[in-house]
A and B are shown apart, each in its own frame.
Chain A
């Protein structure tokens, strides 16, 4: 007769359980509060710098204040009322929405296609990867002068149009209300595809080959495979990109300020440039800038939460009979 006395494998179905010490049930390891000491520095920084700043901005938004040691004049909700009745604010919001929709769409389409192509065998694949990813790590401050050079009245785009005999299409791209936003959007698209590509390329590598193989056996072509297997598996990436893009659009500042300063006539204004102009511009009102910042924060958090909730996986219904078909 054989008896088992040594250690046993835990977790394998049907295997005997390990003996309990002293006949009592072993306690599960508890979360030790001692870990708090490790998060304390980060916690203090977060509370002290980030959340204090947010709370202080909220407080500031109820004052009219020119900064410095000028008196802070209580303004109640005037700054918020002013924001919502300011046509430039609505232009900035409209521009944010347009920027988000176009850049996100171009990013997803461009990045998915490029990532898909890069997962197939292609000549000089690494060269193409470097080319498409380079804009991601070049600072907007470095790129802005080049973009101005390209889009200004005497710039490259107009020179190309002229050379092609399309001189009727030549125009002051940066200096027109109808085209300045287009330039900013194109600059955004140019820089965003590489970032999307990195995420989608990595995401595609995680898809189980068996799943792809099964789809192929079932007769799926490339398009069917993309829409029925690849994209559903990359839903998390797409949602993350949507949130990141929306927050980027809300906070957009550097490329806009460096290329058009929100002009002409506020046509390429964004909330970020509005806030900066109120903070550092000639007619500064830090209270108004704070109110705009609070509005921006509320929009960013709300939209992020909504996108997250809308994109959550549906919980499978357990214990119900499947409908007869």
Chain B
């Protein structure tokens, strides 16, 4: 009898445990209507999770927000890129997730995470009117809709890539010219090597997709239309243009433009730290790197790169050199960097709405974002308040950054929105094989493998 009782108890407990585990993994669909109908509040608490911005920048945003809404307490938690994804899913599933989370357009994220988010279209309509879409630039809203058309996050800001950042102090010391084509890049690297500094730092090891930007830039130099065509299946990765791109990367390694340690690690931390330490003269980073031109954020970035008593250097953007020598120059590519999404299961939707609305749909909030120089403004008509921005060298950097912002808002190509994750992975793998001196394969074979493994994107492609 006793055995039977215990067996039943154990079985019941096991079944209960299984049920609890099963229930926690799925989660209920959000009650959209009810949650969206919640009125914004002027008090409460909000938790915000993201892989960007850096914590000091987020704290600056929150400080400005609290000047208008002192009774809403916002807590920001910053994650590394990969950690964000692995932490967010179980947190949202278990109901312990943040009230607001970052959501980017890349790699189908609106579909992956959009199921947890409120549809923000009604809020945008309430705040900005029926013509709310025209208030935002660059097709940012379209990039943050899921495949069913729900607007699952509101754009905080955009970014662009496809250019270099250089340390003007090193160039001056070396007497080098900023490169504009392949030969002048080789010459600049020789001059910089002569003063014992690294030339162009790049971290192509691991699985980070940052090196895909160099591939995209070179491709634009070869043929400005080919990369997006290949990404969307209208061209092939092993077309002559693709083979030429890989050959140029191989030449850059052989001619010393790409450093021999490029495969030692990833762009973050390797390239970032070498550049911020002042050990390398150039790095390929996007608009988000503008923030380090600031007098204060430069110090923080250098300290993070293990520089004691940092003395900021003057960093400037430069177009990617015309490495193919076909006169195509460099075409920037960009898209919305990320948006803010409201967790549909959040108990603090009212306060979250207030924070999200202020950050993404008010000029004050967007002014704050632009002044941090981390993102391009999402809202049209917002420009930096240069009186509130202190650069390392205002006279030199301000005109260059103004030009960069102008060029970055006029991009005609997406950065990763129209490139599938498998294509980005294939690009990284191809770059690694080209740069690895022990891989004995032709660029034709490597390009053929790219074509075989990269899936075509259908995003933004008209039938």
Q: Which residues of A come within 8 Å of B, CB atoms?
A: 33-34, 36-37, 40, 43-44, 47-49, 52, 56, 66-70, 148, 152-154, 171-172, 174-179, 260-266, 277, 279-284
Q: How far is the CA of A104 from the CA of B424 in the complex (A)?
A: 37
Closest to B82 in A: A280
B266 touches A (CB below 8 Å):
yes
B425 touches A (CB below 8 Å):
yes
B113 touches A (CB below 8 Å):
yes
Closest 3 A/B residue pairs (Cβ) = A69-B115, A175-B263, A48-B17
Contact of B6 among A33, A52, A68, A174 (CB under 8 A): A33
B111-123 vs A, CB cutoff 8 Å, 1 = contact: the mask equals 1111110000000
Contact of B207 among A36, A68, A263 (CB under 8 A): A263
Q: How far is the CA of A262 from the CA of B114 in the complex (A)?
A: 31
Query: Which residues in B have their C-beta under 8 angstroms from that of A37?
Result: 6
Closest to A175 in B: B263
Contact A153 B264 (CB under 8 A): yes
Query: Which residues in A have their C-beta under 8 angstroms from that of B263?
Result: 172, 174-176, 263-264
* B438 CB to nearest chain A CB (Å): 4
Contact of A68 among B9, B115, B204 (CB under 8 A): B115
B108 touches A (CB below 8 Å):
yes
Contact B205 A68 (CB under 8 A): no
Contact A44 B422 (CB under 8 A): no
Pull 15 A–B residue pairs with CB atoms less than 8 Å apart, ordered by A. A33-B2, A70-B115, A153-B261, A153-B264, A154-B261, A175-B264, A177-B436, A262-B206, A262-B207, A263-B207, A264-B205, A264-B435, A265-B432, A281-B207, A283-B420
Q: How large is the interface on B (under 10, 10 to 19, 20 to 34, 35 or more residues)?
A: 35 or more
Known: A56-B21, A265-B429. 20 other contacts (CB 8 A): A36-B10, A40-B9, A40-B13, A44-B13, A49-B17, A68-B112, A70-B111, A152-B261, A153-B260, A176-B436, A178-B438, A260-B206, A263-B205, A264-B263, A264-B432, A264-B435, A277-B207, A280-B85, A282-B209, A283-B424
Q: How far is the CA of A269 from the CA of B13 in the complex (A)?
A: 40
Query: Which residues in B have their C-beta under 8 angstroms from that of A260?
Result: 205-206
B1-31 vs A, CB cutoff 8 Å, 1 = contact: the mask equals 0110010011001100110111001010100
Q: How far is the CA of A277 from the CA of B207 in the complex (A)?
A: 9
Q: How far is the CA of A177 from the CA of B436 in the complex (A)?
A: 7
Query: Which residues in A have their C-beta under 8 angstroms from that of B357?
Result: none
* B68 CB to nearest chain A CB (Å): 33
Q: How far is the CA of A279 from the CA of B82 in the complex (A)?
A: 10
Contact A176 B89 (CB under 8 A): no
Instruction: Tell me how many residue pairs across A and B have CB atoms closer than 8 Å.
Output: 135
* A233 CB to nearest chain B CB (Å): 41
Contact B115 A172 (CB under 8 A): no
* A293 CB to nearest chain B CB (Å): 15
Query: Which residues in A have their C-beta under 8 angstroms from that of B82?
Result: 280-281
Contact A265 B10 (CB under 8 A): no
Query: Which residues in A have their C-beta under 8 angstroms from that of B433?
Result: 264-265
Contact of B112 among A47, A66, A280 (CB under 8 A): A66
Contact A34 B2 (CB under 8 A): yes
* A64 CB to nearest chain B CB (Å): 13
B375 touches A (CB below 8 Å):
no
Q: Using known A-B contacts A52-B17, A52-B21, A176-B437, determine if residue A69 contacts B116 with beta carbons closer than 8 Å.
A: yes
- B42-64 with Cβ < 8 A to chain A: none
Q: Using known A-B contacts A175-B205, A177-B436, determine if residue A40 contacts B10 with beta carbons closer than 8 Å.
A: yes
* A307 CB to nearest chain B CB (Å): 31
Closest to A145 in B: B269
Q: Using known A-B contacts A47-B14, A152-B265, determine if residue A56 contacts B25 with beta carbons closer than 8 Å.
A: yes
B92 touches A (CB below 8 Å):
yes
Closest to A33 in B: B3
Q: How far is the CA of A153 from the CA of B205 in the complex (A)?
A: 13
Q: How far is the CA of A66 from the CA of B25 in the complex (A)?
A: 14
Contact B438 A177 (CB under 8 A): yes
Query: Which residues in A have their C-beta under 8 angstroms from that of B438?
Result: 176-179
**Most A C-beta atoms less than 10 A away, residue of B22, B112, B422, B424:** B112
* A52 CB to nearest chain B CB (Å): 5
- B256-311 with Cβ < 8 A to chain A: 260-266
**Most A C-beta atoms less than 10 A away, residue of B82, B114, B115, B204:** B82
Q: How far is the CA of A56 from the CA of B20 in the complex (A)?
A: 13
Q: Using known A-B contacts A176-B263, A280-B82, A283-B425, determine if residue A67 contacts B112 with beta carbons closer than 8 Å.
A: yes
B421 touches A (CB below 8 Å):
yes
* A39 CB to nearest chain B CB (Å): 9
* B9 CB to nearest chain A CB (Å): 7
Contact A175 B116 (CB under 8 A): no
Query: Which residues in B have their C-beta under 8 angstroms from that of A179?
Result: 438
Q: How far is the CA of A66 from the CA of B29 in the complex (A)?
A: 17
Contact B264 A280 (CB under 8 A): no
Contact A172 B206 (CB under 8 A): no
* B250 CB to nearest chain A CB (Å): 14
Query: Which residues in A have their C-beta under 8 angstroms from that of B14?
Result: 43-44, 47-48
Q: Using known A-B contacts A67-B89, A282-B209, A284-B85, determine if residue A263 contacts B432 with beta carbons closer than 8 Å.
A: yes
B74-113 vs A, CB cutoff 8 Å, 1 = contact: the mask equals 0000000010011001001000000000000001100111
Q: Using known A-B contacts A66-B112, A153-B261, determine if residue A48 contacts B18 with beta carbons closer than 8 Å.
A: yes
Closest to B83 in A: A280
B194 touches A (CB below 8 Å):
no
B439 touches A (CB below 8 Å):
yes
Q: Using known A-B contacts A148-B265, A153-B260, A154-B261, determine if residue A44 contacts B429 with beta carbons closer than 8 Å.
A: no
Q: How far is the CA of A66 from the CA of B113 in the complex (A)?
A: 10
Contact A283 B86 (CB under 8 A): no
Query: Which residues in B have their C-beta under 8 angstroms from that of A69?
Result: 27, 29, 114-116
Closest to A41 in B: B13
Contact A175 B3 (CB under 8 A): no
Query: Which residues in B have their C-beta under 8 angstroms from that of A47?
Result: 14, 17-18
Query: Which residues in A have their C-beta under 8 angstroms from that of B107?
Result: 282-283
Query: Which residues in B have their C-beta under 8 angstroms from that of A177?
Result: 436, 438-439
Closest to B198 in A: A154
Q: How far is the CA of A33 from the CA of B9 in the complex (A)?
A: 13
* B4 CB to nearest chain A CB (Å): 9
Contact B113 A68 (CB under 8 A): yes
Query: Which residues in A have their C-beta under 8 angstroms from that of B89?
Result: 67-68
* B461 CB to nearest chain A CB (Å): 19
Query: Which residues in B have their C-beta under 8 angstroms from that of A262?
Result: 206-207
Contact B209 A174 (CB under 8 A): no
Closest to B25 in A: A56
Closest to B85 in A: A280
